Amino acid sequence: MALKPDASSHNETPATPATPNPDTTVAATTMTTAPVKMASIIAKPLGLLLSPPLDAPEPHEHKTLLEEAQGAAISGDRMGRETSRVVLANGDLLPTNVTPSHYDIHLKPDLATGVVSGSVAVDALVNEATEQIVLHAKSIAITRALVYHSGALLVSVGGDAVIYEDELEMATIQLPCVLRAAEQVQIVITFTGVLSESMYGLYRCKYRDRIGNPSVMLVTQFQAKCARLAFPCWDEPAFKAEFTLTLTVPSKHTALSNMPVVQETEGCEGVKTVYFARSPRMSTYLLAIVSGELDYIEATALAGDVITDSSSPQRAPVPCRVYTAAADIDKVQFSLDTAVKVLELLVDMFGCAYPLPKLDLVAVPELEAGGMENWGLILFRTVRLFITTQTSLWIRQKAVYVIAHELSHQWFGNLVTMAWWDDLWLNEGFATWIGIHITDLMYPEWRRWDHFAIEDRQAALSADSLRSSHPVQVTIKGSADIDQVFDSITYYKGCSLIRMLSAHLGTDAFMAGVRAYLNAHAYASATTSDLWAALEAASGQPVAELMHSWTTCVGYPVVSVDTDFESGEMRLTQNRFLHSGHVTPDEDSTLWWVPLGMISSECAHPVSAVLHDRSGSFEIPGSPAATWIKLNYNNAGLYRVRYSCDALRRLALAAASDDLMCTADAVGILNDAVALAISGHVPTSAVLDMVAAFQERQPEFVILQILGLFLESLHQTWADRSPPAVREHIRALARSLFAPQAAALGWAHRPGDSPLVARLRAISIPRAAWAGDAQVIAKALEYFEQFYSAPTEPKPFHHDFTASVFEIAVRCGPVANHARVRDMYEHSARWHLSEDHRMAALGAMACSRDPSCMWQTLDYALSDHVLPQDLNIVMGFMVTADHRSKHILWRWFKLNYQHLVARLGEASALLGHVVSTVIGDFATPEMADDVEMWFADKHTAAFDRSLPQSLEFIRVRAAWFERDSDDVEQWFESYSGESCDC
């Protein structure tokens, strides 16, 4: 695994590129010459603007050129003839009268001016006679379109024959003749465009070049509907095609795409042209480009086709590389090793070779998502690939999961793709399940499914308990709606359903069905029904019938348990669960298939049963000797369980003893109890009783994490309206849980500590500090002062505590610590900070309790010091820093909303994430009304799903307080603790 400074990417045997043909403006409607090759078609007017990126024009000249290009691409192209166009049959969907089979693309981006000149030759089939070609194009001006048939030019039209529809992001090319059905044609289009100003389409990404100077690289983010920003295309997942890509980029750049490089040719003025091999059939959103001064490290995975001409058959090697800027090449070895292991495991699981000749992972400083699964060229935020000895355990665990998630997409999503975005859960739910499953195989000591139970699964259950939720198979309201369904329902409810179904069918039968599904639909598109059919054939069970309500209906059930331990019988009833607690008959019409999985005090092995109907009677396992009963063994099912008061009391006592019940089942009891308290099914005092009882259980990371999250949520909800004494009581209870753990475990990891003990130590210290433990606070302030004053490596404290030390120093230390962590964020190399610790310094800035520091931090977040993708880190820390901070954040947000829109983009998913974070922790009816009124006249298309969900959450929490405030206050009257020091 040698470190290789790179001037080229993976190379195959050189192939001769297409011979350039300078004549691209043929005016005749027929001719007998062969169609012009894509690689030769460059829009001449913009080609004259191309110049080496180091020769950037002065700012005013840059603006003039960019505005000129944007004017042509966005507004100056309205000169097309206003004639009728094909009526779309399904809202925003393209017609299928012409469908592509191969794109031959040449792009010439100018990094200095932001202008792109390009051409694309599309081999297409005419399915229905037509005088129009309708395709996607956004911020692009088509300058000429030519149509060939059997090598002869049928028609050539100029830009004035193109009609653009901004709202649909489509372009209609009007033809003077009819294309006949069943004809194979080649459509050659020249166009001009611009490099995107956001992290979508083809955009400029800031980084540092080989000698450390600020520079820009080219990056693409085409998912879900942004390939149309780079070239005219059929930008829907079902329109799969093969791609041949050619790029003209600076000579010093390494150019990467999905396929290996076949040839490079040097041009003049410091540019080169790079030709890539032809791809297999794939969707447009998976096409990818990266170009910059990059280095790589390399290894091989035995993940290709089986080699049978040897005595011991094995798989062919697949080269795997991780690319990054030269200065960071020593940070990616762990990620490369992980990718190789994951790829080999996935090949064995799927029984199918990795489909491409190479796999590249690229660390990208500016990326909208944590990872993007482009086929053969997977992009990651730097924090996901930069894993060193100083990286915290939790970030290391996240890195393994994210790599496994994105690599699983190479089959589930790329090889077989959902036909439309309403089945996005097929991609993301399954990749989430595989990502966790692979992580659990590689590192069983991490107990990754326990983490899923307390975080991701709860996020899905919480979101799906709202009236404003949506089914897993979601109806897409329009193209603007697509980005919003990349949410916890799609990812985590989807994963939970896969987990529930695989547990019911058995992993072997489940994976047999998955392999059959992949083989049947390879290089094509599929639907949920296709997956169910494959699983039914493999298992012999009626999967489609069992899962129909789970995927097509919103919500999930709560199963109420009425027990009679004397008779050994129990009555179970299912109803839809809502956080509000008020379910109308119309909302409660769905019946789910509910796998029960029952254990009891006398029956540790789960007894399988199913609730199909509204209610049913079942025997208590181990009766009549059983003293408690637990449903939903191992949290495998996606539902809540509501026990009678007597049954819950018995169960809580059992769960508080680690000898009687496993961790996963104790987690399920706690999570359900908290949700039932918020909805009003049980009083909050019942949960507080459980918190007290669980202090007797052997301390475990996942249990204490749930208890800590509950107490923080209780504090946030009660903060604005409860007496100060109640808030102090809540923190005193938290202190009684976490301060003893912090004292017992200390600040140093010990030989033999398991990862779960390390995680327990890592959460106990910050939670004890949040609760006001004086000893933890004093030690953290001492460590911060020592580290800031004399940066050393290793640090005076373990790297797992870096974020905690920074946060405590700002929240509980002198005001000057705010400026100090900003200094550490801006000059991270001086303090030897890893990427995740640099982000921790940024988040810590938002932890100050000083209002002036809060305002400074928020203004700083909008500066060039903070990348747009990281802005929500500041917001997330700010809302929980202090019970007043969320109100300061809301005032700042309203004053700076237009700046946020300009920085993130009005249609950006990032804007929706910021909105949800800013308003998500309010808990009064007045704030719900204020937020709703303020957004009433705003353009909310980018978050018109998440905004109603956030408003509903605010009102749910407000109702929780109004219903249980007296109950909580009375419970705490019997509890007294020392006042908090922080």
Residue whose pair of structure tokens reads 């598109």 in the numeric block: 525
Region label for 220, one of left (φ > 0), alpha (ψ between -120 and 50) or beta (otherwise): beta
Using alpha carbons, list the distances in angstroms from residue 739 to 578, 635, 809.
35, 29, 18
Q: Which of 782, 803, 848, 798 is nearest to 982 (CA)?
A: 848
Residue whose pair of structure tokens reads 């041949």 in the numeric block: 244
Find out whether 273 and 246 touch, Cβ atoms under 8 Å. yes
Please calculate the CA angle 656-444-313 and round it to the nearest 5 degrees.
Answer: 155
Find out whether 224 and 155 touch, Cβ atoms under 8 Å. no
- Look up residue 475 and give its amino acid: T
DSSP category for residue 320 = E
- Quote the CA–CA distance of 591 and 608 in Å, as a whole number: 19
Q: Which residues make beta-bridge pairs with 254?
A: 292
Q: Which of 562, 566, 425 is nearest to 498 (CA)?
A: 425
Find out whether 803 and 763 touch, Cβ atoms under 8 Å. no
Q: At 190, is the secondary structure helix, strand, or coil?
A: strand
- Quote the CA–CA distance of 560 and 618 in Å, as a whole number: 13
- Look up residue 372 and give its amino acid: M
Residue 62 CB neighbours (<10 A) = 14
Find out whether 380 and 364 touch, Cβ atoms under 8 Å. yes
Q: Which of 405, 337, 323 is nearest to 365 (CA)?
A: 323
Distinct helix (H) and strand (E) counts, the chain: 30, 32
Find out whether 669 and 652 touch, Cβ atoms under 8 Å. yes
Find out whether 385 and 297 touch, Cβ atoms under 8 Å. no
Please calculate the CA angle 77-83-85 and round it to the nearest 5 degrees.
Answer: 95
Q: Which residues of 579-602 are buried (b: 16+ CB within 10 A; e: fewer)?
A: bbbebeeeebebbbbbbbbbbbbe
Instruction: Give the residue numbers marked as catalytic.
Output: 406
Q: Give 950-953 contacts, CB < 8 A, sequence gap 24+.
A: 950/915, 950/916, 950/919, 950/920, 951/919, 952/466, 952/467, 952/468, 952/579, 952/580, 953/466, 953/579, 953/920
Six token digits for residue 9: 């990417």
Q: Which residues of 522-532 are buried (b: 16+ CB within 10 A; e: fewer)?
A: eeebbbbebbb
Residue 755 CB neighbours (<10 A) = 16
Q: Which of 722, 718, 699, 700 is nearest to 710 (CA)?
A: 718
Find out whether 710 and 968 touch, Cβ atoms under 8 Å. no
| Cβ-proximal residues to 746 (8 Å cutoff; 6+ apart), any chain | 761
- Quote the CA–CA distance of 504 and 608 in Å, as a whole number: 9
- Quote the CA–CA distance of 736 and 692 in Å, as a whole number: 9
φ, ψ of residue 703 in degrees (nearest 5): -65, -50
Q: Which of 767, 773, 641 is nearest to 701 (CA)?
A: 767
